[in-house]
Structure 1
Amino acid sequence: MLELRDLRKSYGGRDVLRGLSHTFRAGEFVAIMGESGVGKSTLLNLIAGLDRPDSGEIVLDGQSITALDDRAATRLRRARMGFVFQAFHVLPHLTLEQNVALPLLLNRMPTQRAAEMLDAVGLGGRGGDFPSQLSGGELQRVAIARALVHRPALVLADEPTGNLDPETAESILTLLRNELKASHACAVMVTHSHAAAEKADQTIVLTRTGLANACVA
């Protein structure tokens, strides 16, 4: 489904990722942990096509992401990927339903699923509200609804529970896991939280020499 083939990335002459290879399967929820500075967020940016490796290849469903130009990479992200960020990135001037509907509009798809996804994340009937009316946990639910609304093949999550209390974080991750399983999407989540990683099917530790200590939850 998603293949990393001998990736290398350096900044300022320092290797951040070196010889990194791994295969992620469809329907799999994988947590990536590791010390600060080992390249976890860099890896997500490479997978998303927001940055390019110095060498190696990233392949999504048989298509090489690293071979795409910027315009083609943007189209691929729009159609095949969903993103959940620690800072939410919910647009304040749009209603909740409009925020969730954005991927559908960008992909020229019917927008009724936006209301369905808000209901799925426990915000049914609040589509006309604005982000300023929500708590942090509720905003993260909106972000998850938006990431999954267009049924992406791949979901990338960067510290999605970093700003949440433990109870809210657990409910958010349970929701994310359930939605992923229902749509048979693959998810790669970067986290420092062992509690968050326990919700994944597999936890992988990223070290300065590559991926190590893979374990199944």
Structure 2
Amino acid sequence: MTLPADAVAPALECRGLSKRYGSGRIVLAQLDFTLAAGEFVAIMGDSGVGKSTLLNLIAGLDRADGGSVMIDGRAVEQLDDNAATRLRRQKLGFVFQAFHVLPHLTLAQNVALPLLLNDLPGAAALEMLAAVGLGGRGEAFPRELSGGELQRVAIARALVHRPSLILADEPTGNLDPATAHDVLGLFRAQSKATGAATIMVTHSEAAAAVADRVLILSDGGLHAAPAQVGDHVAHAGVRSSDDGR
């Protein structure tokens, strides 16, 4: 794909992406997908269809059998292990269902990890904690927080170094509906505020309702959600505006 000289490269571009399991079963076949800077996309689909596999291929944690993944114009499959690690460290942020907040570190220390790894000033950690509603809690430890607060820490950690791309795998899967509602609105607002493109894998129509668009991954590839699914998602009652209101 050739862009005009004054065009901005997509944050993410997948072309002809294919993956087989060891058994020979095709998980992804010739998948094409482009994500613009600042765009928030939800990917839904049945269990086992390859949603987490897709995230792993994008992050360079697994190798595709064919095709290309471009992040900010760099082909992930052409990078050696060290270069792929640097790309993940600098360009990506991750949010998981299980939070993965380190229990022996304070909240500020948890959020500051990407800054430390990228040789960036650590003061941004406290600013990001305040942005997710945890101002003044930097010296607290994870054991003192609720599940929703822990996910706020995870979101702050994912965004603090201003990555180009956020990959979120069922980020509200461990939260009750009311807490999920609040966290999803915050997640969208903060990802928009930092300009990060975001892919969120979810089974939840309520979660998908915060996205700019919803895609369905199936054996037939990655496609826009059917009208009836899109309508249902649009009326799920969770969508937040870009400023978090």
Q: TM-score range by the shorter chain?
A: over 0.9
* Secondary structure of the structure 2 residue equivalent to 1:44: helix
> How many Å separate the matches in 2 of 1:213 and 1:127?
41
**Mapped pair 1:191 → 2:229:** no
Alpha-carbon shift at residue 173 of structure 1 (Å): 1.0
Match of 1:52 in 2: 63
> How many Å separate the matches in 2 of 1:69 and 1:13?
26
Match of 1:9 in 2: 19
> How many Å separate the matches in 1 of 2:194 and 2:160?
10
Match of 1:99 in 2: 110
> How many Å separate the matches in 2 of 1:132 and 1:140?
13
What are structure 2's unaligned runs of at least 5 residues? Answer: 1-9, 235-245
> How many Å separate the matches in 1 of 2:41 and 2:53?
16
> How many Å separate the matches in 1 of 2:139 and 2:224?
45
* Secondary structure of the structure 1 residue equivalent to 2:161: coil
Q: Which amino acid aligns with 1:10?
A: R
Q: Deviations over 1:73-98 (max 9, x none)?
A: 00000000000000000001100000
> How many Å separate the matches in 2 of 1:61 and 1:145?
22
* Secondary structure of the structure 2 residue equivalent to 1:56: strand
Q: TM-score, normalised by structure 2?
A: 0.87
Instruction: Pick one of 165, 187, 193 that aligns with 1:176.
Output: 187
Q: Which amino acid aligns with 2:164?
A: A
Q: Deviations over 1:131-185 (max 9, x none)?
A: 1111111100000000000000000000000010111111111111111111211
More strand by share: 1
Q: Deviations over 1:161-211 (max 9, x none)?
A: 001011111111111111111121100000000000000000000001201
> How many Å separate the matches in 2 of 1:27 and 1:123?
24
> How many Å separate the matches in 2 of 1:160 and 1:127?
22
Q: Which amino acid aligns with 2:75?
A: S
- Among the aligned pairs, what percent are the same residue? 67
**Mapped pair 1:205 → 2:232:** no
> Would you say how many aligned residue pairs link Structure 1 and Structure 2?
217
Cα root mean square deviation, aligned: 1.0
> How many Å separate the matches in 2 of 1:212 and 1:169?
26
Match of 2:96 in 1: 85
> How many Å separate the matches in 2 of 1:67 and 1:16?
22
> How many Å separate the matches in 2 of 1:38 and 1:99?
33
Q: Which amino acid aligns with 1:131?
A: P
Alpha-carbon shift at residue 61 of structure 1 (Å): 1.4
Match of 1:120 in 2: 131
Match of 2:48 in 1: 37
* Secondary structure of the structure 2 residue equivalent to 1:6: strand
**Mapped pair 1:140 → 2:190:** no
What are structure 1's unaligned runs of at least 5 residues? Answer: none
Q: Which amino acid aligns with 1:205?
A: I
Q: TM-score, normalised by structure 1?
A: 0.98
Match of 1:65 in 2: 76
